[in-house]
């Protein structure tokens, strides 16, 4: 079954409104075993809409048209569908009564222009909208079945779940289950991951497993997808591919499925009854903020006492970091030596099981601004990360090139990944694709 999603509206076409409806519909279709072959955006123009409807009717089996069902002059979906189908519009009294009742239940009088929302192409199938006044409908144009959910996200989402997806499943005539396995990685770029995973789809013959990538710096999400009739069979099919994925990508995998890097850290701290204190520069407290945000989002009750994060401190520079933990040193310490001493002092003063120092500074030259950026918005920063624990400490350094925002994201992710590796007993240094290598 070939499906096209066609979104209407000048606000979508111009970019003034982000098209989150398309993302939702495409994702739900994929989760239910349907492939979206085309995605189209058309403005509020009668000629353009009709041409798009006719084109879609020639190449797709199902077309989901989103938007254009309101009462205003720029809502054109009903009349365009009628014209493309070669029929007239007709007033659906049952829907007009629904609109009147909707307004009356709110103590309001229905405006006269809402009559337009009850005009549908002759012979159209009405698709119920229990939470709004826009009438969903379905109509056949040439050989394609067109379905029209409203553009209001809440209304569209409910109609997709309760009305459109059941109709599509019935049209397909068979039960198809989609299994999606996700790996969240840090340190490996898309090109290298693609090379490392060359041929992994062929572990299961017949093209039954699809490999996909989604880059959202500083992480790369790697996805495996397969479809079949039941979850048990799909899990067995994916098992050898998942094993190969873990072997090839290795410790660059920071979490899987709905997990997160900070979630893995907190899970390990809870498992070992451990805790962490963080002192960081340049990142604005983002490292501690990520850990705190996860704890707050997973607390059992508003007053839950989260003991995993003891202290989260921010310093402006090296001198202030030393002052905060009362580290007095007149020695000419290297960056690695200094952050290990700072992390150790932090651990001692806070009473936490682990201490972590993130010490970063811009590499400023003559034409750089205060963020280290040159006239092209490019910068470079050097970071030293030290982690202290019972029995010792370790450190890692890196240089990050890019924009100031990019660098701060990279440093935050690197610090969290170093902590994850330390807690799991994995070497904290492994070459990443995002740092500068001399």
Q: Please tell me the distance from the alpha carbon of residue 234 to that of residue 2, in angstroms, as a whole number.
A: 23
**pLDDT of 297:** 77
Beta-carbon count within 10 A of 23 CB: 11
**pLDDT of 300:** 47
Domain ranges within the chain, ordered by starting residue = 3-172, 177-256, 261-424
- Domain 177-256 in CATH 3.40.50.2300? The answer is no
Beta-carbon count within 10 A of 272 CB: 11
Structure tokens at 58: 């020639």
pLDDT above 50 (res 438): yes
Residue linked to tokens 């499943």: 169
Return the CATH number of 261-424, one of 3.40.50.300, 1.10.340.30, 3.30.470.10, 3.90.950.20.
3.90.950.20
**pLDDT of 301:** 41
Report whether the peptide linkage leading into residue 165 is cis, meaning its omega lies within 30 degrees of zero. no
Nearest to 421 by CA among 257, 253, 291, 215: 253
What average pLDDT does range 136-147 have in this prediction? 97
What tens digit of pLDDT does each residue of 60-74 get?
A: 999 999 999 999 999
Going by pLDDT thresholds of 50, 70 and 90, the confidence category of residue 365 is low
What tens digit of pLDDT does each residue of 289-337 get?
A: 999 999 987 654 433 346 899 999 999 999 999 999 999 876 788 999 9
Going by pLDDT thresholds of 50, 70 and 90, the confidence category of residue 372 is low
Structure tokens at 223: 């996805």
The top-level CATH class assigned to 3-172 is alpha beta
Whole-model pTM over 0.85? no
């Amino acid at each position: 079954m070939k499906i096209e999603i066609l979104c209407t509206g000048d606000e979508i076409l111009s970019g003034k409104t982000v098209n989150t409806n398309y993302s939702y519909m495409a994702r739900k279709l994929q989760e239910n075993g349907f492939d979206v072959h085309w995605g189209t955006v058309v403005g509020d123009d009668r000629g353009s809409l009709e041409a798009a409807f006719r084109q879609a009717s020639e190449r797709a089996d199902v077309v989901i048209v989103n938007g254009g069902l309101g009462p205003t002059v720029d809502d054109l979906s009903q009349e365009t569908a009628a014209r493309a189908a070669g029929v007239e519009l007709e007033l659906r009294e049952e829907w007009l009564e629904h609109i009147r009742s909707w307004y009356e239940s709110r103590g309001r009088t229905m405006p006269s222009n809402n009559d337009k929302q009850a005009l549908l192409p002759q012979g159209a199938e009405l698709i119920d909208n229990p939470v709004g006044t826009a009438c969903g409908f379905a109509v056949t144009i040439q050989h394609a079945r067109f379905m029209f959910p409203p553009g209001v996200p809440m209304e569209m989402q409910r109609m997709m779940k309760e009305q459109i997806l059941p109709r599509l499943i019935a049209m397909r005539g068979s039960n198809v289950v989609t299994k999606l396995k996700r790996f969240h990685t840090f340190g490996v770029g898309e090109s290298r991951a693609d090379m490392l995973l060359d041929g992994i789809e062929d572990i299961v013959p017949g093209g039954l497993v699809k490999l996909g990538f989604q880059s959202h710096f500083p992480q790369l999400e790697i996805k495996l997808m397969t479809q079949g009739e039941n979850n048990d069979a799909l899990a067995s099919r994916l098992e050898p591919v998942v094993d190969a994925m873990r072997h090839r990508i290795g410790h660059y995998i920071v979490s899987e499925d709905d997990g997160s890097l900070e979630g893995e850290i907190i899970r390990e701290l809870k498992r070992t009854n451990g805790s962490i204190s963080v002192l960081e520069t340049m990142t604005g407290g983002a490292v501690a903020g990520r850990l705190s945000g996860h704890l707050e989002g997973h607390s059992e009750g508003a007053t839950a006492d989260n003991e995993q994060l003891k202290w989260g401190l921010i310093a402006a520079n090296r001198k202030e970091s030393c002052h905060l933990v009362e580290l007095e040193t007149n020695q000419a310490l290297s960056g690695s030596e200094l952050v290990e001493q700072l992390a150790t002092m932090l651990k001692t003063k806070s009473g936490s099981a682990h201490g972590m120092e993130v010490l970063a500074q811009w590499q400023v030259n003559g034409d750089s601004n205060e963020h280290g950026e040159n006239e092209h918005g490019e910068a470079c920063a050097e970071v030293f990360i030290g982690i202290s624990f019972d029995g010792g400490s370790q450190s890692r350094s890196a240089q990050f090139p890019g924009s100031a925002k990019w660098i701060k994201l990279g440093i935050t992710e690197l610090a969290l990944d170093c902590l994850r590796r330390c807690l799991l007993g994995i070497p904290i240094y492994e070459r990443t694709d995002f740092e500068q290598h001399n």
